[in-house]
Amino acid sequence: MNSGIDDILKKSIQCIKGVAEKRSKLFHKLGIFSVYDLITFFPRGYEDRSKLKKISQMVNGEECTFEGIVMSKVSEKRIRKGLTLYQVFIKDDTGTVIATWFNQPFVKKLFYVGERYIFYGKVTGKYKYFEVSNPVYEKVENGEFKNTMRILPVYSSTAGLSQNTIRAVMENALELVDGALDDFLPYWIRKEYRLCDINYAFSNIHFPRSEEDLNYARYRLVFEELFILQLGLLSIKTALGDGKEGICFGTHEKELAHFISGLGFELTNAQKRVWKEIEIDMESNRVMNRLVQGDVGSGKTVIAALALLKAVKSGYQGIMMVPTEILAKQHFETLCALMEKSGVTLSLLVGSQTAKQKKEILSRIEAGEVDIVIGTHALLEDNVKFYRLGLVITDEQHRFGVRQRAVLSGKGENPDVLVMTATPIPRTLALILYGDLDISIIDELPSGRKPIKTYVVDNSMRERVNKFIRKNVSEGRQVYIVCPLVEESDAIEAKSALELAEKIAKEDFKDLRVGLVHGKMSSSEKDKVMQSFADGEIDILVSTTVIEVGINVPNATVMVIENAERFGLAQLHQLRGRVGRGGYQSYCILYNESKSKIAIERMKVMENSTDGFVISEKDLEIRGPGEFFGTRQHGLPELKIANLYRDMDIIKKAQKAAAEILRRDRLLCEEENIKLKEKIVEKFKEKLKDISLN
């Protein structure tokens, strides 16, 4: 019985009544191949045709359902070639309306004077009578309705597939599976969280019997989706060593206090709090898997240094992995300076080193002569072996996957893991997107920073902006100009940045030193240009977004962003964070050519706030979560029904439920949880590729 329904769900949609080859191709365009794909193709909205109105209650411009008696024969009026109107008067006990159809001669044969119908359509009211154009109609017979008197689903569609076709096919599909869908949620979860039965949920999400039924159905399906998401993430956490016996690092109070007192500044309260959280993790015998989130400039590097120092003082080695070579070099230099007096040996490991250099470094790492290694992806290679690896830090988490973290961890025996990111995400969302990690947030910038001044301009200001750029360069400062991704294609992106750079170099600033970086260049080419910018050999750096995870150039004070409206706010914020890193007043100039209200509102947010969390929250509010916080980019399964912004309450319940079920059955291997576990493995197969779930 059960395997029966699983087989049906896997079958091609061609097994559904009403879907032959040609139509199935249209469904493929919507990403629908199997019966399961179809029934989980949830409506994007609904048309409520269930509430009957009297003609006297009609409102101009609104859609409504009403019942009436046909009062006249259908009249035919040829307006011009190709446009003929068919009209009929309809009456109830409160008034009269005109129903109008365009070019549908068959309606003449349908309606007879004195007969009673239900209609549904949009009301307009220019003349004496309200008029309903192209209404849907159904005869009042045995009380069964198909197109009226109910709430009907509205699907995202594609040319050639009408709503009516999708609805009909969906009904057939639901008939095929109705009553047979297996509820993989354990009974006690359904009971405790008041979740409706799965068959009821599927039938009512597509064809709700009432608004209330729709709400029950939606609640169950959203809960289920978020519950699985949460459980998947928590299982990954377990697989990565959460709860596993880890290293108990020592306190080393004296050494660490000494290090902190040598910094030349006091830690912010947020840094102190986050450091405390990390220390507790490191001293406990649980493996640490912690995310440190902090806006650009919030001081994450010092925290990393503290953790590394603690590990080294306890007799272990530490790694810090970053996404680009130039960042690796910068971090290496920063950490060398910070640890100068701590008696710690640091090494750099990057792809561009010669084989001979690498060989020497690798043997020193393996022999335990190096305490801390800073590097790029080069660290992931098999030949990088450690003497006693205790701590793994990755910076800029969104560039690395769970898998890479796991590879690094595998180089030690359950080392602690710290992930650093500057991507500001509201905490509630972070809990989902990084559900496989514990989270610490540095939500405070060191005091005394000069906030970056941001101005939104349009092309008419170009002269003035160019003058401003010149002024800054003549004072010895440097400037970034960023061009957006015009299309998905890298080629076009590179071209537009290139064209602009050429224009800037040959026309606007022909007397200045202009450099260019874009995604099409090899990383060594990129690094070279970045390095000469950092060394002050370039005045204006024109680039695509590759500088987002960039380098620290305190002398750069102006960030100009072309077509700023094409960027996400969080991305603009990251880009802006490239300036304002030294003692100079810094500026961000956003070119916006869009007149749309949303674009203007988004630009205002940038002008008015420098807080990454506020900005990302606003962005979410204005744009909705699907677009920017795509779960896809975090390597998570696609959400088909839940909305991470709107369904916050359900997220919290699902998180609670996930924690509860794991407390009862940590590995989900009890009989009642088997189906659920299968579902999770299925949904997370991408993310779980190289990690085995226990």
Q: Which spans of this chain sit near ligand ADP (rule: CB under 6 A)?
A: 265, 267-268, 271, 294, 296-302, 422, 446
Report the nearest approach of ligand ADP to the CB of residue 297 (Å).
5
Report the nearest approach of ligand ADP to the CB of residue 395 (Å).
8
Answer with the entry of Mg ion, ligand ADP, none that 297 interacts with (C-beta below 5 to 8 A by kind).
Answer: ligand ADP
Q: Which is nearer to ligand ADP, 186 or 297 (CB)?
A: 297
Beta carbons of 620 and 628 less than 8 angstroms apart: yes
**Which stretch, 25-33, 51-59, 295-303, 483-491, contacts Mg ion (CB under 5 A)?**
295-303
Q: Which is nearer to ligand ADP, 415 or 577 (CB)?
A: 577
Report the nearest approach of ligand ADP to the CB of residue 299 (Å).
3
Q: Which is nearer to ligand ADP, 286 or 300 (CB)?
A: 300
Number of amino acids touching Mg ion (CB under 5 A): 1
3-state secondary structure of 253: helix
- As to burial, measured by CB atoms within 10 angstroms (0-12 exposed, 13-18 middle, 19+ buried), residue 476 is exposed
CA gap 148, 150 in Å, rounded: 5
Answer with the entry of Mg ion, ligand ADP, none that 268 interacts with (C-beta below 5 to 8 A by kind).
Answer: ligand ADP
Q: Which is nearer to Mg ion, 137 or 400 (CB)?
A: 400
Beta bridge partners of 357: none
Answer with the entry of ligand ADP, Mg ion, none that 401 interacts with (C-beta below 5 to 8 A by kind).
Answer: none
Answer with the entry of Mg ion, ligand ADP, none that 203 interacts with (C-beta below 5 to 8 A by kind).
Answer: none
Q: Tokens for 366?
A: 């393996």
Q: What angle do CA 164, 169, 170 make, to 5 degrees?
A: 95
Answer with the entry of Mg ion, ligand ADP, none that 228 interacts with (C-beta below 5 to 8 A by kind).
Answer: none
Q: What angle do CA 667, 668, 672 make, to 5 degrees?
A: 155
Report the nearest approach of ligand ADP to the CB of residue 251 (Å).
22
Place of tokens 């880890």: 246
Report the nearest approach of Mg ion to the CB of residue 271 (Å).
13
Report the nearest approach of ligand ADP to the CB of residue 303 (Å).
8
Report the nearest approach of Mg ion to the CB of residue 292 (Å).
10
Report the nearest approach of ligand ADP to the CB of residue 321 (Å).
15
Q: Which residue is nearest to Mg ion (CB)?
A: 300
Instruction: Collect all residues with Cβ–Cβ distance below 8 Å to 552 and sequence separation of at least 6.
Output: 330, 534, 581
Answer with the entry of ligand ADP, Mg ion, none that 232 interacts with (C-beta below 5 to 8 A by kind).
Answer: none
Q: Which is nearer to ligand ADP, 297 or 484 (CB)?
A: 297
Answer with the entry of ligand ADP, Mg ion, none that 440 interacts with (C-beta below 5 to 8 A by kind).
Answer: none
Burial 115-151 (b: 16+ CB within 10 A, else e): eebbbbbebeeeeeebbbeebbbbeeeeeebebbbbb
CA separation (Å) from 129 to 51, 97, 98, 538? 21, 5, 7, 73
Report the nearest approach of Mg ion to the CB of residue 303 (Å).
10
Q: Tokens for 688?
A: 């779980």
Report the nearest approach of ligand ADP to the CB of residue 272 (Å).
9
CA gap 480, 248 in Å, rounded: 45
Q: Which is nearer to ligand ADP, 389 or 441 (CB)?
A: 441
CA gap 659, 216 in Å, rounded: 23
Answer with the entry of Mg ion, ligand ADP, none that 317 interacts with (C-beta below 5 to 8 A by kind).
Answer: none
Q: Which is nearer to Mg ion, 290 or 300 (CB)?
A: 300
Phi, psi dihedrals of residue 391, rounded to the nearest 5°: -145, 130
Answer with the entry of ligand ADP, Mg ion, none that 298 interacts with (C-beta below 5 to 8 A by kind).
Answer: ligand ADP
Q: Which is nearer to Mg ion, 300 or 329 (CB)?
A: 300
Answer with the entry of Mg ion, ligand ADP, none that 296 interacts with (C-beta below 5 to 8 A by kind).
Answer: ligand ADP
Q: Which residue is nearest to ligand ADP (CB)?
A: 299
**Which stretch, 36-44, 88-96, 299-307, 669-677, contacts Mg ion (CB under 5 A)?**
299-307
Report the nearest approach of Mg ion to the CB of residue 549 (Å).
9
Report the nearest approach of ligand ADP to the CB of residue 269 (Å).
9
CA gap 323, 490 in Å, rounded: 19
Answer with the entry of ligand ADP, Mg ion, none that 294 interacts with (C-beta below 5 to 8 A by kind).
Answer: ligand ADP
CA gap 581, 579 in Å, rounded: 5
Q: What angle do CA 317, 321, 326 make, to 5 degrees?
A: 125
**Which stretch, 145-153, 183-191, 297-305, 528-536, contacts Mg ion (CB under 5 A)?**
297-305
Q: Which is nearer to Mg ion, 234 or 372 (CB)?
A: 372
Report the nearest approach of ligand ADP to the CB of residue 266 (Å).
6
In this structure, the number of other CB atoms found within 10 A of the CB of residue 269 comes to 11
Q: Which is nearer to ligand ADP, 446 or 635 (CB)?
A: 446
DSSP structure string for 636-680: PPPPSS--TTTTHHHHHHHHHHHHHHHHH-TT--SGGGHHHHHHH
Q: Tokens for 181?
A: 């869908």
3-state secondary structure of 131: strand
CA gap 439, 277 in Å, rounded: 9
Answer with the entry of Mg ion, ligand ADP, none that 446 interacts with (C-beta below 5 to 8 A by kind).
Answer: ligand ADP
Answer with the entry of ligand ADP, Mg ion, none that 267 interacts with (C-beta below 5 to 8 A by kind).
Answer: ligand ADP
- Identity of the residue numbered 160: G
Report the nearest approach of ligand ADP to the CB of residue 201 (Å).
45
Beta carbons of 390 and 624 less than 8 angstroms apart: no
Answer with the entry of ligand ADP, Mg ion, none that 323 interacts with (C-beta below 5 to 8 A by kind).
Answer: none
Q: Which is nearer to ligand ADP, 199 or 301 (CB)?
A: 301
Q: Tokens for 229?
A: 């998401």
CA gap 578, 558 in Å, rounded: 9
Q: Which is nearer to Mg ion, 550 or 625 (CB)?
A: 550
- As to burial, measured by CB atoms within 10 angstroms (0-12 exposed, 13-18 middle, 19+ buried), residue 51 is exposed
Q: Which is nearer to ligand ADP, 186 or 299 (CB)?
A: 299
Beta carbons of 550 and 419 less than 8 angstroms apart: no
Q: Which residues contact Mg ion by CB under 5 A?
A: 300
